[in-house]
């Protein structure tokens, strides 16, 4: 067992975790962030993607004990005061959400990209989401939505969100 401190969506969480406890378990089962989905638990599908210290990671492959002191962003931490983040708006507006199972991970992979590269090409977007599987949309609408968000996000939004 290990005592760790995480900052999740801006809130400090102190907890004791098992040595084998995965970050996805801590987020979903201990802290109640059910927007982080799980499926393969082997690093193959990307639905468990969250952002840790500014990088998108697969929370099914990460031990919570190794995240002590980390800042974690889950889908619940995007947007504020009931106002969806532009990526969430663009996904809905462009029809990039069908069953929605891949969507939280897809959006967080996109956010990690746009934080680093606010004006990505289609190829760069495709590369950024190539670890995130979608069984429904065929990806074109997802790429379109990310492109749309990149055009609409103002530089100040990027800065304030990435500092959360």
Binding residues for ligand FES, rule: CB under 6 A, are 38-41, 43-48, 58, 60, 97-102, 134-137
Q: Of 75 and 161, which CB lies nearer to ligand FES in the complex structure?
A: 75
Q: Of 28 and 147, which CB lies nearer to ligand FES in the complex structure?
A: 28
- Centre a 10 Å sphere on the Cβ of residue 85 and count the other Cβ atoms it contains: 20
Cα–Cα distance, 19 to 162 (Å, whole number): 30
Q: Using CA of residue 129, residue 91, residue 54, residue 72, what is the dihedral sign?
A: negative
Task: Return the structure tokens found at 20.
Answer: 């084998």
Q: Of 62 and 161, which CB lies nearer to ligand FES in the complex structure?
A: 62
DSSP for 80-139, written as a single string: BTTB--HHHHHHHHTT--SS-SSHHHHHHHHHHHHHH-SS--HHHHHHHTTTS--SSS-S
Q: Name the minimum Å distance from CB 75 to ligand FES.
A: 14
Q: Name the minimum Å distance from CB 142 to ligand FES.
A: 8
Q: Of 47 and 161, which CB lies nearer to ligand FES in the complex structure?
A: 47
Q: Name the minimum Å distance from CB 12 to ligand FES.
A: 25
Q: Name the minimum Å distance from CB 90 to ligand FES.
A: 14
- Bridge partners of 74? none
Q: Of 15 and 101, which CB lies nearer to ligand FES in the complex structure?
A: 101
Task: Return the structure tokens found at 100.
Answer: 């929605």
Name the residue among 156, 55, 60, 145 with its Cα closest to residue 109: 55
Q: What is the DSSP letter of 91?
A: H
Q: Name the minimum Å distance from CB 73 to ligand FES.
A: 16
């Amino acid at each position: 067992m290990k005592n760790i401190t995480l900052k999740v969506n801006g809130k400090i969480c102190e907890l004791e975790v098992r040595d084998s406890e995965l970050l996805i378990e801590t987020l979903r089962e201990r802290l109640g962030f059910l927007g982080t989905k799980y499926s393969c638990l082997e690093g193959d599908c990307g639905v468990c993607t969250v952002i840790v210290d500014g990088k998108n990671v697969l929370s099914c492959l990460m031990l919570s004990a190794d995240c002590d002191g980390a800042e974690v962003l889950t889908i619940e931490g995007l947007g504020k005061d009931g106002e969806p983040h532009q990526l969430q708006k663009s996904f809905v507006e462009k029809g990039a959400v069908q069953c929605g199972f891949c969507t939280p991970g897809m959006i967080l992979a996109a956010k990690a990209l746009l934080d680093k590269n606010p004006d990505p090409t289609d190829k760069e977007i495709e590369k950024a989401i190539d670890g995130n599987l979608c069984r429904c949309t065929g990806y074109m609408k997802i790429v379109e939505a990310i492109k749309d968000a990149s055009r609409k996000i103002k530089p100040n939004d990027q800065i304030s969100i990435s500092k959360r």
